[in-house]
Amino acid sequence: MDELTRKLSQARILLRRKDYRDCHALCLNVLQSQPDNADAFLILGQLTADHQNFSKALELFERAIRSGEVTGEAEAHSARCLIALNRRDEAVVKARAAANRKPKDALVLDTIGVVLSRAGHHEDALEYYQAAVAANPDEASYHYNLGAALQFLGQFDPAKSAFRACLERNPDDSRALVALASMGDASDEDSLIPKLEAAWDARDQEDADQALQLAHALARAYEDQQDPATAMDWLERGKRQKRARTRNREEDDKACFATAAALAAQLTIVDPPAAGGPIFIVGMPRTGTTLTDRILSSHPEVTSAGELSDFSVALKRQTQTSGPYVLDPETLDAARNTDLARLGQTYLDKVSATLGLEGRFVDKMPLNAFFAPVILSAIPNARVVCLRRHAADTVLSNFRQLFATSFSYYAYAYDLKATARYVVQFFNLIDEYETALPASRFKILDYESLVADQEGQTRQLLAFCGLEFDPACLNFHENAAPVATASATQVRQPLYSSSMGRWKSYRPAMDPALEILQVADLI
């Protein structure tokens, strides 16, 4: 082994150990003697990406490619950076370019899978996760990623096997414990709670995200034991630390609700809509949005695009408002003075280029509720279906949900009373929408009505969307398409009513939230 090769090998070891200072120095040393060394640029790119500087990391990966990196590693890591920067179409192109290199390295294969999953190509991602596990079966995280992909695809038994394989290799991987708990794995029922409680006791006391994950898993496990009081206690314990370390968004949210309501009255919206067009399903999370998506996408003329951030990202880029968030009052307000026709076409072009969808599709991003007036104005043949569920069940379902900790828009769910206040504002907003937006373009669908009269409500929903009735929409649970949401298990079953009125079983822990809902006349 020559000296340069030895240094680069050592730099990779230092990178894995997160010894970034020495890794950086070693790569710079290599570049001093060989300015176009592709491996040095590749390692520096990974180091930079680890520090969340994705734009700079992209530059370094491109330098690696120009300097002769041909294994697909640089392209795969570039793709992951592009996904982090919300440049999904470019990320998919890079990931497929990396795949065309026929990589053998397990990390590269896993990275390709991660990018394809985050871009919505779950079925395509599966083969790369499987290849990563085959290439390095000792790495626990590869088994975890494989399990998550299998869960999205409805292959629950193989998913559980993958999560167990992850735990066999790393018993401390709390993500796999959480995943098994979320799937209600009866075979692990006797041992799961002791394992989770042991993981809680052994957790990193400074890691608020790990505490949150474990507490949610314990809450689910105690719910399976018919002990909602202990479940709520665990939720509060897990959320307390995260709440203390998270920026409070309540004032921002309040301003967003107010601005969205104002837009409904200010923007010009064509009525009735032209034929066809995308269907946006919006609402509070955990209120039947995924169920409605499955009903519509079971129709032969409709495809589910999943939860896309494309519209909000396109609006943010077109308005060029300051601040890091795509959902903020400044960006919403700026929609009044932007070229909405161009915005709508940008969105449609992006979805077409990235997902290759033909015909009608469903975009099921719940937070698009804030953008509903802008969507209807920007895309003249679009329709918006907004889910509404009993207010107390909505509060409980959101408080019980483990949202992605990197997604700050759902930070209200770290506090029960904050969740109730958010739900009140959401109900007020959709009341404003129902008054201001044309009924041919905006429809409120009550979850309880859908459960009580599945066929009647499904017929009305299809008619609103300009679709003929198809019996397949009643058999939505037979839809084999991937589901990358918390409802992945539920929507593969026929419609059931057991979740309605669940909040009653969680009293007295729910009482502080119920007081807020009562004052707002929502219960």
Closest CA to 30 of 18, 20, 42: 42
Structure tokens at 368: 């698009």
183 vs 244, residue with greater confidence: 244
Query: Which residue type is seen at 174?
Result: S
Q: Beta strand 360-363 with 442-446: parallel, antiparallel or unpaired?
A: unpaired
- Global pTM reads 0.83
Q: Please report the DSSP string for 360-424 in residue order.
A: EEEE--GGGGGGHHHHHHHSTT-EEEEEE--HHHHHHHHHT----TT-GGGGGGGSHHHHHHHHH
497, part of any domain: yes
Residue 119 pLDDT exceeds 90: no
88, part of any domain: no
322, part of any domain: yes
289, part of any domain: yes
Angle CA 394–397–401, to nearest 5: 135
Residue 481 pLDDT exceeds 80: no
Distance CA 288, CA 294 (A): 10
69, part of any domain: no
Beta bridge partners of 444: 386
Flag the least confident range among 194-208, 347-361, 437-451, 463-477.
347-361
Residues 6+ apart with CB under 8 A from 427: 388, 391, 520, 522
- What pLDDT score does 493 carry? 56
State the sign of the Cα–Cα–Cα–Cα dihedral 350, 353, 358, 363: negative
Please state the length of the chain.
Answer: 523
Q: What share of the chain is helix, strand, coil (3-state, %, to 5)?
A: 65, 5, 30
* pLDDT per position as a tens digit, 126-155: 999 999 999 999 999 999 999 999 998 889
pLDDT band at 86 (very low <50, low <70, confident <90, very high): confident
Q: Which H or E run includes 445?
A: strand 442-446
Q: What CATH number is given to the structural domain containing 439?
A: 3.40.50.300
Query: Which residue type is seen at 214?
Result: L
* pLDDT per position as a tens digit, 214-224: 999 999 999 98
* pLDDT per position as a tens digit, 4-38: 899 999 999 999 999 999 999 999 999 999 999 99
pLDDT band at 480 (very low <50, low <70, confident <90, very high): low
Distance CA 451, CA 298 (A): 17
154, part of any domain: no
| Domain hosting residue 325, numbered range | 250-519
* pLDDT per position as a tens digit, 222-244: 998 899 999 999 999 999 999 99
Residue 349 pLDDT exceeds 60: yes
Region of 444 please: left (phi>0), alpha (psi -120 to 50) or beta: beta
- 444 C-beta neighbours (distance < 10 Å), count: 16
- What pLDDT score does 492 carry? 43
- What pLDDT score does 482 carry? 56
pLDDT band at 371 (very low <50, low <70, confident <90, very high): very high
The stretch 349-354 carries a mean pLDDT of 87
Is residue 368 within 8 A of residue 280, CB to CB? The reply is yes
Mean pLDDT of the chain: 92
334, part of any domain: yes
Flag the least confident range among 13-27, 276-290, 403-417, 483-497.
483-497
The separation between CA 434 and the C-alpha centre of its own chain, rounded to angstroms, equals 27
Domain total of the chain:
1
Closest CA to 446 of 291, 288, 307: 288
168, part of any domain: no
* pLDDT per position as a tens digit, 432-455: 999 999 999 999 999 999 999 999
- 474 C-beta neighbours (distance < 10 Å), count: 17
Distance CA 141, CA 170 (A): 9
Is residue 259 within 8 A of residue 321, CB to CB? The reply is no
